[in-house]
Structures are given as C-alpha cells and as structure tokens.
C-alpha cells in the first residue's frame, strides 16, 4: 500500500482484513506499507505470520500495529529507507507486480493467469491514486494493472477481495 502520512485507522483495517487469510491460504503473506511523504520515504514490511496477537477486531489490530511500529524487530518486521522507484524495482525482481486501479483489467480474468506464479505483489494506494510518476514506474517494471470494478473501494476491502479471489483459485 502506498501513501504518505497515512491515517492510522486505514493501516489498522488493512492489517485486520489481511490477518485471517494466513489461515485460509497456505502461502506466506506480508503487508508492506510505503510511506511516501518526502520526510519519510520508507517501507514497513509486516510478515503476517509474525503477529503476536489474534486479531478479532479493530482494537486488536490497532494495538498490534502500535506495538509493531514501536518495536518492529520484535515482530520480525523492518523499516527500510527507500525511494518508491527503488522499492518497486526490488519488488519487481522478486515478484509479479499487480497494480490495483479502477481502470485496469478485470480481477476475475487476470487472477486465473497469475495464480500459479511463485510470488505476487499487489500494489494499491490508500485513499488516493498513485501519482502519474508512480504509475509510470510500475508500468516500466511490467506491473499488470488490475481492477476490482469501476467504483473506488477502501484499501482494506480491496485486500479482502484480492484474497478471496486468490483463495478460490489456489
């Protein structure tokens, strides 16, 4: 997820919505937040399997995220100072990049063609679209643009939709 000076509630809901899928799908799942504000430019990688608490609601998720941010190494997480460009290049070397946008290819059709890949990375914005420069960088690295529909959805809901499609096609 990409964005600068994010609202904590958005990040917490994304964590909460991704958490139950670690039990539903037999794959390694990580949540990577990229803080793109010029004073930040850093990524926080959270392996979902490293969470110490069962997340049942937003309060659990918020507490867990506060703990992670306070002491990321305790959770096997790490901050990395990086530019968006360098992060995308690194991710593209490790994974198939999928950019979520309302003007992309249908998720239903695309998921069937990418489901057998070893590593997938889904990139989405929080409450704003990516900048033209960010979208161009994704395109230059071969990202597949995918849409879950013409309407705009909350990032946390997009996470649930993606995981649902992945789980039914695994």
Given this model, what pLDDT does residue 2 score? 57
Distance of alpha carbon 149 from alpha carbon 108, whole angstroms = 10
Own/partner pairs for 166-170, CB < 8 Å, 24+ apart?
A: 166/25, 166/111, 166/115, 166/120, 167/21, 167/24, 167/25, 169/111, 169/112, 169/115, 170/25, 170/26, 170/27, 170/115
Domains present along the chain, CATH in parentheses? 2-169 (3.40.1280.10)
User: Do the Cβ atoms of 25 and 49 come closer than 8 Å?
Assistant: no
Given this model, what pLDDT does residue 114 score? 85
Token pair for residue 96?
Answer: 């198939």
What would the mean pLDDT of 33-50 be, rounded to a whole number?
88
pLDDT single digits (tens) 82-124: 999 999 999 999 999 999 988 889 988 888 788 777 899 999 8
Helix boundaries (H) for the chain: 8-18, 21-24, 58-70, 84-94, 107-114, 132-140, 155-169
Distance of alpha carbon 41 from alpha carbon 57, whole angstroms = 29
Of 156, 133, 136, 155, nearest in space to 145 by CA: 136
What would the mean pLDDT of 137-163 be, rounded to a whole number?
91
């Amino acid at each position: 997820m990409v964005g600068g000076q994010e609202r904590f509630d958005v990040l917490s809901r994304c964590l909460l919505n991704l958490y139950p899928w670690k039990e539903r799908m037999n794959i390694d799942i990580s949540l990577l937040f990229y803080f793109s504000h010029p004073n930040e430019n850093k990524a926080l990688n959270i392996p979902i399997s490293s969470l110490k608490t069962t997340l049942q609601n937003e309060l659990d998720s918020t507490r867990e995220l506060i703990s992670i941010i306070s002491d990321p190494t305790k959770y096997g997480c790490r901050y990395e100072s990086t530019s968006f460009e360098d992060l995308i290049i690194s991710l593209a070397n490790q994974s198939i990049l999928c950019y979520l946008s309302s003007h992309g290819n249908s998720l239903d059709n695309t998921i069937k063609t990418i489901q057998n890949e070893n590593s997938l990375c889904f990139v989405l914005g929080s409450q704003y679209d990516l900048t033209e420069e960010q979208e161009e960088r994704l395109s230059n690295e071969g990202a597949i643009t995918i849409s879950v529909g013409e309407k705009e959805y909350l990032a946390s809901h997009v996470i649930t939709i993606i995981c649902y499609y992945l789980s039914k096609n695994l």
